[in-house]
Amino acid sequence: MKVHVEEVAFTYGKEPVLSGVSLELPGGGITVLIGPSGSGKSTLLQLLAGLLHPAAGRILFDGEEVTGVPTERRDVGVVFQSYALFPHLTVRENIAFGLKTGRQRFSARSSRRRPSRHSLEARVWDAAALLGLERLLDRKPSQLSGGEQQRVALARAVAPRPALLLLDEPLSALDARLRRTVRAELASLLRQLGTTVFYVTHDQEEAMLLADHLVVLHEGRVMQAGSPLDLYRRPASPFVASFLGEANLVAVEVEEGGEGKPVRTPLGKVALPGGSARGWLLVRPEDVTEDPLGAVATVVDSRGLGPHERVVLALENGAELLAHFPPDSALAPGSKVRVGIRGRRPHFLAEG
């Protein structure tokens, strides 16, 4: 199912939470909405779910307007941050909950009436098997670990086979180590489902791993949308650049009459796109390389993180530069290195 959000606005009291938000969720793909806390991402998810209704704008499911349709009549499944499992029901009953409701689906392709008893059991079993919960079906939620609860929440949401699956920071309640394993499993599971997925997170790694389509939200506005790697490599603003990973933003200015000529920067000469006057070069730490012909820099700090050596450098103009060097290339603080930019074609962000 394709989802369109058109110029949606939402206010909480007098505070604007979302303003003029437009986006498109490609059918069958995973759209990840990323933003810092307070950016309005959970609100947007609740608008798609129909748990909240926008002050202005429209929401379309496959071209049909659903803006005023309540949750129970939308063809959606929701996984909440806190899971919200029914504590008085077993895992089996939790998963079956959505298969027994008198849901009058809005979606045109609602061939799914209430399933018969036999198929109900089969569908509970299918959902449980998909998430490896077969042996936990008779447990109560309080008897499950955090990771298991998360899987039950997902099984419960997908059992009715919703056309749109909404996940609100589903991994944030897990500890860091578990989150990493579950993240990878979740990515393959969501692709396997083939449902249109809308996934909200503030975790950049999670976003990069899961997203087919990435949307960055900041202060209630969409900053940029596109493929995750594209946003990482070619962000449109310093905010997006530094929100999606670590970034060195090197300020550059084109002298008058110097348009089109390579510009001198603290990291050597760089050719800029014509017409631009002032802005920043985006240099990701992994793009900084040791270069015998490069600029001289002083090592401020060098720390081995395992996968790479995290090095803080000071350039001759005093600007700090963060670099990721290959592992085991520890540098003594105070020593000098010559550095350049890998490929010598950094992304340029025009100011304004």
Partner 1 sequence: MSRRLGIAAVALLALALTAPIAITAAGAFSRSEWYGQRSEGAAVQDAPALFSYVTATWGRALSRSLQVVAAVVPLALLIGAPAAWAFRRRPFPGSRLLESAALTPLAVPGVALAFALIQSAAGVSRFWLLVGGHLAYTVPLVVKTVGNAVETLDPRLEPAARSLGAGPWEIARRVTLPLLAPALTLSALLVFAVSWGEFNVSFLLATPLLQTFPAGLYLAYTTSSFPVAAAATIVFLAPVVPALVAIQAFGGEEFHRGLPA
| Contact residues for partner 1, defined by CB under 8 A | 46, 49, 51, 70-73, 76-78, 80, 82, 84-88, 97-98, 101-103, 105, 140, 142-143, 156-157, 160, 166
By C-beta, is 48 or 282 nearer to partner 1? 48
Measured from the CB atom, the residue of 99 and 297 that comes closer to partner 1 is: 99
Least distance to partner 1, CB of residue 194, Å: 20
Toward partner 1, which CB reaches closer, 86 or 184?
86
The C-alpha atoms of residue 293 and residue 269 are separated, in whole angstroms, by: 11
- CB 196, min distance to partner 1, A: 15
Q: Which C-beta is closer to partner 1: that of 71 or that of 181?
A: 71
Minimum distance of partner 1 from residue 97's CB (angstroms): 5
Between 63 and 87, name the residue whose CB sits nearer to partner 1.
87
Min dist. Cβ of residue 166 to partner 1 (A): 8
- For 122, the token pair is 């089969």
Closer residue to partner 1 (CB): 140 or 347? 140
Is the Cβ of residue 140 or residue 344 nearer to partner 1 in the bound state? Answer: 140
Q: Which two tokens stand for residue 284?
A: 């990701």
Q: How far is the CB of 78 from partner 1 (least distance, A)?
A: 4
Please state the separation of Cα 315 from the chain's center in Å.
Answer: 33
Burial class (CB in 10 A: 0-12, 13-18, 19+), 254: middle
Whether the CB-CB separation of 339 and 291 falls below 8 Å is answered with yes
Nearest distance from C-beta of residue 176 to partner 1, angstroms: 23
Min separation Cβ 164 and partner 1, Å: 11
